[in-house]
């Protein structure tokens, strides 16, 4: 009899996210947590502000996570994490990785002051922003991470969002923190590798993970991974690292850059856009991509 | 060891002697010297603590909350606008049952900008679930901080130590700085029942349905109700080691007093001087200084006011559309116990206007001239 072959796994088998959680079908935020925790392991504590994950984790007294969680106020992910880190150090635990885990609203908008403060002090925390591009937990309201053109419940199609997504990574780079990386849940190994790298760096580290939201994007749950892959291939959300605020490195060198239209078509939130709107958006994406390439080239 | 120090430094010494482990603070006049001295103490290792120099008071309290849930003894200090900015996080600290101790320098709320004292900043936080101590001397400030940690850590309820801007914060007084070894004997290291650690993973503060939330708040109130006895017991223990008793109230010549002035903060000491003067001129006045506002010492207030013919509460604060807040509390303490005792409500000294011995004489004259109060609020020293 032939010996059965074993599947070669590219990620550790250990799961720190339990199956009985409250995520929607096709939730990218849940995958982001799975991959990051696989990299960080059990000696991790999480500070989770108001966001989808404050629900996904499960109601009191339950938690679907295998690591301790402090549910903190909306705008305090970074400042709470700074306090937790200092507190753990003072009680003799300098090893545990302290993570602030927020959505885009808690990071780009209401939590940016605390995040900027922690980054300027270079507090020894890992900040992870899973970005589903709107306030999904409260029912799909626009945030400053919502892309140009998108429908949300506060940017109805007649007045869709007419400002580009805030460039949070550039803002974080301006703080000259040791490590910044973008990730997308379609690239699990890349997210894992970056979280692992971030874990071993001292100071403020920032991971920005693209996390599709079928509920808010009016997309099919089974398309989440596809969308998370397309957004990288069409360069709307390139994968890269920034070290010490100045060394830019592309994680995936996109050679055959895809047009954004196929990505937009899979999502109801972009259904209203005209050809002219899409042309404008494509130009913006091209410009951003060129700008990033220049930063990458100039840091070599 | 006796030292001449300002009220703000009395807070710093209290935090140092209590061996605070994490301090997170943001500067605001008139609190700055509290954190300046603490940052020096951290820098020269007089105090083994981490000082997080945050970018706002909101983050200051958030960081204290994070440090406290991690198991560290935690201190901060603020004033007025800073305390108001912390408001959300004050609920977080008490709701999360974290014994953070904070100094608040009573400063009037803007606008218009004012750096001078009144109590509206701290009293606006009365329903946040924090214990509140009002101090009248720098000695009391040091002693209160140390005791506040002990009480807070036993009840898992945060504590706010309050002192008047300038009248105390910047006033230098002789303070007997407690001996560190004796403080260590009095206040053991902070050992919370549960904390945020991978060794024993829990989720804290998650979504709490109506099935559970009510009980969490019931328990907070039940523990708050234990505080008066515990503050007294802790005070006696402290007295044995240091010879000074703090307690909930400070009553002065109240036993035979016909009229009792109810006060708080530094105005309380001014009232005491005024009582001495009035006694000399034959008026049987007394003074009840309320040291602890939350929990409110109902029984003590009732017992001390029992034999008075009249009570005059002087508030350096106002609940707009209602009364001065100590006046409200005193009336609520008496209601159902002594409904016939006339209680007069005065408001004085808002925005740092001086409350003088003559202010108290005016108060007493007004109260003695009437059988019962004819106005909801009697204003002292206001220009109409």
Q: What is the CATH number of the domain that holds B197?
A: 3.40.50.970
Residue B251 clears pLDDT 80, i.e. is over it? yes
B183 domain residue, yes or no = yes
Total Cβ atoms within 10 A of residue B172: 12
CB A96 within 8 A of CB A103: no
The answer to whether residue A68 neighbours chain B at the CB level (below 8 Å) is yes
CA distance B331 to chain A (A): 36
Residues B231, B306, single domain; the answer is no
Residue of B nearest to A22 (CA): B207
Exposure class string for B8-23: b at 16+ Cβ within 10 A, else e: bbbbbbbbbbbbbbbb
Residues B290, B232, single domain; the answer is no
B38 domain residue, yes or no = yes
CA distance B53 to chain A (A): 8
CB contact under 8 A, A82 and B24: yes
CB A186 within 8 A of CB A209: no
Residues B275, B358, single domain; the answer is yes
The answer to whether residue B63 neighbours chain A at the CB level (below 8 Å) is yes
Mean per-residue pLDDT, B364-382: 96
A179 domain residue, yes or no = yes
Residues B42, B79, single domain; the answer is yes
- Compute the count of residue pairs across chains A and B with CB atoms less than 8 Å apart: 177
At A145 the three-state DSSP class reads coil
Interface subset of A 74-103, CB within 8 angstroms of B: 75-76, 78-91, 93, 96
At A209 the three-state DSSP class reads strand
Residue B131 to residue B135: CA distance in whole angstroms: 13
- Count Cβ atoms within 10 A of the Cβ of residue B376 and give its class: 0-12 exposed, 13-18 middle, 19 or more buried: exposed
Residues B237, B324, single domain; the answer is no
From chain B, the residues in CB contact with A88 under 8 A are 70-72, 196-197
Residues B102, B217, single domain; the answer is yes
Per-residue confidence (pLDDT) for residue A2, from 0 to 100:
85
In total, how many domains does chain A have? Answer: 1
Per-residue confidence (pLDDT) for residue B132, from 0 to 100:
98
A17 domain residue, yes or no = no
A14 domain residue, yes or no = no
What does the H/E/C string look like for chain B?
Answer: CEEEEEHHHHHHHHHHHCCCCEEEECCCCCCHHHHHHHHHHHHCCCCCCEEEECCCHHHHHHHHHHHHHCCCCEEEEEEHHHHHHHHHHHHHHHHCCCCCEEEEEECCCCCCCCCCCCCHHHHCCHHHCCEEEECCCHHHHHHHHHHHHHHHHHHCCCEEEEEECCCCCCCEEEEECCCHHHHHHHCCCCCCCCCCCCCCCCEECCCCCCCCHHHHHHHHHHHHHHHHHHHHHHHHHHHHHHCCCCCCEEEECCCCCCEEEEECCHHHHHHHHHHHHHHHCCCCEEEEEECEEECCCHHHHHHHHCCCCEEEEEECCCCCCCCCHHHHHHHHHHCCCCCCCCEEEEECCHHHCCCCHHHHHHHHHHHHHCCCCCCCCEECCCCC
A36 domain residue, yes or no = yes
Residue B158 to residue B130: CA distance in whole angstroms: 5
From chain B, the residues in CB contact with A90 under 8 A are 21-22, 49-50, 67, 70, 72
Residue B63 clears pLDDT 90, i.e. is over it? yes
B110 domain residue, yes or no = yes
Range of the domain at A123: 28-298
From chain B, the residues in CB contact with A84 under 8 A are 66-67, 69-70, 196
**End residue of a domain, out of B188, B210, B242:** B242
Select the residue of B22, B53, B203 nearest A90 (Cβ to Cβ). Answer: B22
From chain A, the residues in CB contact with B208 under 8 A are 59-60
Select the residue of A59, A67, A88 nearest B206 (Cβ to Cβ). Answer: A59
Residues B145, B284, single domain; the answer is no
Mutate one of B38, B196, B202, B210 to test the A interface: name it (highest A CB count within 10 A).
Answer: B196
Interface subset of A 111-130, CB within 8 angstroms of B: 113-114, 116-117, 120-121, 123
CA distance A19 to chain B (A): 16
Residues B231, B371, single domain; the answer is no
CB contact under 8 A, B206 and A62: yes
- CATH number of the domain residue A95 falls in: 3.40.50.970
Q: Would you give the distance in Å from CA B91 to the centre of its chain?
A: 17
Dihedral in degrees, nearest 10, Cα atoms B45, B50, B55, B58 = -130
From chain A, the residues in CB contact with B192 under 8 A are none
Residues B257, B171, single domain; the answer is no
From chain A, the residues in CB contact with B53 under 8 A are 121
Residue A185 to residue A33: CA distance in whole angstroms: 10
CB A285 within 8 A of CB A270: no
CB contact under 8 A, A62 and B52: no
CA distances in angstroms from A253 to A64, A239, A242, listed in the order given: 36, 9, 15
Q: Both tokens of residue A131?
A: 């970005």
B384 domain residue, yes or no = no
Dihedral in degrees, nearest 10, Cα atoms B331, B334, B338, B342 = -30
In total, how many domains does chain B have? Answer: 2
- Tell me which residue of B41, B46, B4 sits closest to B25, measured CA to CA: B41
Residues 6+ apart with CB under 8 A from B353: B116, B381
Range of the domain at B275: 249-379
Residues B62, B77, single domain; the answer is yes
% of chain B exceeding 70 in pLDDT:
100
B349 domain residue, yes or no = yes
A122 domain residue, yes or no = yes
Residue B185 to residue A217: CA distance in whole angstroms: 60
Per-residue confidence (pLDDT) for residue A1, from 0 to 100:
78
- CATH number of the domain residue B255 falls in: 3.40.50.920
Per-residue confidence (pLDDT) for residue B300, from 0 to 100:
97
Q: State pLDDT tens for residues B4-37.
A: 999 999 999 999 999 999 999 999 999 999 999 9
Select the residue of A75, A83, A90 nearest B24 (Cβ to Cβ). Answer: A83
**End residue of a domain, out of B177, B210, B242:** B242
Residue B260 to residue B268: CA distance in whole angstroms: 12
A46 domain residue, yes or no = yes
CB contact under 8 A, B56 and A113: yes
From chain B, the residues in CB contact with A61 under 8 A are 203, 206, 212
Q: List chain A pLDDT tens, one digit each, 300 residues.
A: 788 888 889 999 999 999 989 999 999 999 999 999 999 999 999 999 999 999 999 999 999 999 999 999 999 999 999 999 999 999 999 999 999 999 999 999 999 999 999 999 999 999 999 999 999 999 999 999 999 999 999 999 999 999 999 999 999 999 999 999 999 999 999 999 999 999 999 999 999 999 999 999 999 999 999 999 999 999 999 999 999 999 999 999 999 999 999 999 999 999 999 999 999 999 999 999 999 999 999 997
CB contact under 8 A, A60 and B52: no
A257 domain residue, yes or no = yes
**End residue of a domain, out of B242, B271, B292:** B242
Mean pLDDT of chain B: 97
A9 domain residue, yes or no = no
Q: State pLDDT tens for residues B302-351.
A: 999 999 999 999 999 999 999 999 999 999 999 999 889 999 999 999 99
CB contact under 8 A, B198 and A68: yes
Looking at the predicted complex, does its ipTM rise above 0.90?
yes
Per-residue confidence (pLDDT) for residue A226, from 0 to 100:
98
From chain A, the residues in CB contact with B204 under 8 A are 68-71
Residue B280 clears pLDDT 80, i.e. is over it? yes
Select the residue of B63, B196, B207 nearest A55 (Cβ to Cβ). Answer: B207
The answer to whether residue B67 neighbours chain A at the CB level (below 8 Å) is yes
Residue B121 clears pLDDT 80, i.e. is over it? yes
Q: Both tokens of residue B58?
A: 């909101």
At A173 the three-state DSSP class reads helix
Residue B5 to residue B85: CA distance in whole angstroms: 29
Residue B52 clears pLDDT 80, i.e. is over it? yes
């Amino acid at each position: 009899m032939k010996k059965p072959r074993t599947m070669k796994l590219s990620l550790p088998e250990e799961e720190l996210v339990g199956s009985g959680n409250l995520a929607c079908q096709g939730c990218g935020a849940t995958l982001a947590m799975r991959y990051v925790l696989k990299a960080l392991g059990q000696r991790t504590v999480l500070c989770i502000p108001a966001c989808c994950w404050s629900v996904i984790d499960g109601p009191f007294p339950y938690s679907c996570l295998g690591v301790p969680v402090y549910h903190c106020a909306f705008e305090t992910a970074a400042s709470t994490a700074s306090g937790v880190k200092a507190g753990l150090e003072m009680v003799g635990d300098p090893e545990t990785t302290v993570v602030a885990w927020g959505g885009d609203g808690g990071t780009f908008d209401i939590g940016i002051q605390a995040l900027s403060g922690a980054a300027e002090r270079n507090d020894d925390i890992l900040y992870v922003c899973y970005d589903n591009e709107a306030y999904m937990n409260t029912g799909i309201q626009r945030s400053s991470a919502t892309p140009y053109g998108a429908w949300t419940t506060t940017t109805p199609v007649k007045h869709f969002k007419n400002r580009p997504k805030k460039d949070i990574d550039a803002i974080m780079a301006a703080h000259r923190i040791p490590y910044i990386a973008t990730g997308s849940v379609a690239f699990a190994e890349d997210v894992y590798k970056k979280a692992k790298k971030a874990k071993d760096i001292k100071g403020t580290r920032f991971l920005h993970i693209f996390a599709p939201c079928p509920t808010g994007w009016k997309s099919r749950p089974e398309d989440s991974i596809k969308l998370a892959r397309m957004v990288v291939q069409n360069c709307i959300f390139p994968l890269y690292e920034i070290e010490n605020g100045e060394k830019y490195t592309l994680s995936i060198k996109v050679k055959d850059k895809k047009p954004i239209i196929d990505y937009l078509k899979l999502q109801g939130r972009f259904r209203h856009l005209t050809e002219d709107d899409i042309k404008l958006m494509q130009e913006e994406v091209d410009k951003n991509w060129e700008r990033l390439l220049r930063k990458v080239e100039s840091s070599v | 060891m006796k030292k001449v120090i300002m009220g703000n430094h009395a807070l710093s010494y209290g935090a140092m002697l209590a061996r605070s482990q994490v301090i997170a603070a943001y500067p605001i006049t008139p609190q700055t010297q509290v954190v300046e001295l603490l940052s020096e103490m951290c820098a020269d290792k007089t105090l083994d603590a981490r000082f997080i120099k945050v970018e706002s008071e909101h983050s200051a309290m958030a960081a204290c909350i994070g440090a406290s849930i991690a198991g560290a003894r935690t201190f901060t200090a603020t004033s007025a606008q800073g305390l108001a900015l912390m408001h959300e996080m004050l609920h977080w600290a008490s709701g999360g049952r974290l014994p953070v101790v904070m100094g608040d320098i009573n400063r009037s709320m803007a606008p218009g900008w004012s750096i001078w004292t009144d109590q509206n900043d701290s009293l606006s936080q009365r329903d946040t679930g924090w214990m509140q101590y009002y101090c009248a001397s720098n000695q009391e400030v040091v002693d209160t901080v140390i005791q506040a940690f002990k009480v807070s850590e036993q009840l898992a309820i945060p504590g706010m130590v309050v002192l008047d801007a300038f009248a105390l914060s910047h006033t230098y007084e002789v303070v007997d700085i407690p001996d560190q070894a004796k403080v260590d004997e009095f206040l053991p290291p902070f050992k919370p029942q549960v904390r945020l650690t991978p060794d024993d993973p829990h989720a804290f503060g998650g979504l709490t349905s109506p099935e559970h939330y009510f009980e969490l708040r019931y328990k907070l109130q039940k523990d708050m109700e234990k505080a008066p006895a515990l503050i007294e017991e802790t005070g006696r223990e402290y007295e044995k080691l240091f010879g000074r008793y703090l307690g909930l109230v400070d009553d002065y010549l109240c036993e035979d007093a016909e009229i009792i002035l109810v006060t708080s903060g530094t105005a309380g000491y001014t009232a005491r001087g005024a009582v001495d003067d009035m006694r000399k001129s034959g008026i049987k006045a007394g003074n009840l200084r309320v040291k602890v506002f939350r929990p409110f010492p109902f029984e003590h207030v009732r017992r001390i006011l029992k034999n008075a013919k009249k009570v005059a509460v002087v508030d350096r604060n106002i609940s707009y559309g209602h009364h001065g807040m100590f006046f409200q509390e005193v009336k609520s303490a008496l209601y159902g116990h002594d409904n016939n005792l006339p209680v007069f409500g005065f408001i004085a000294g808002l925005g740092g206007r001086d409350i003088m011995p003559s202010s108290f004489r005016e108060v007493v004259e007004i109260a003695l001239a009437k059988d019962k109060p004819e106005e909801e609020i009697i204003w002292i020293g206001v220009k109409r």
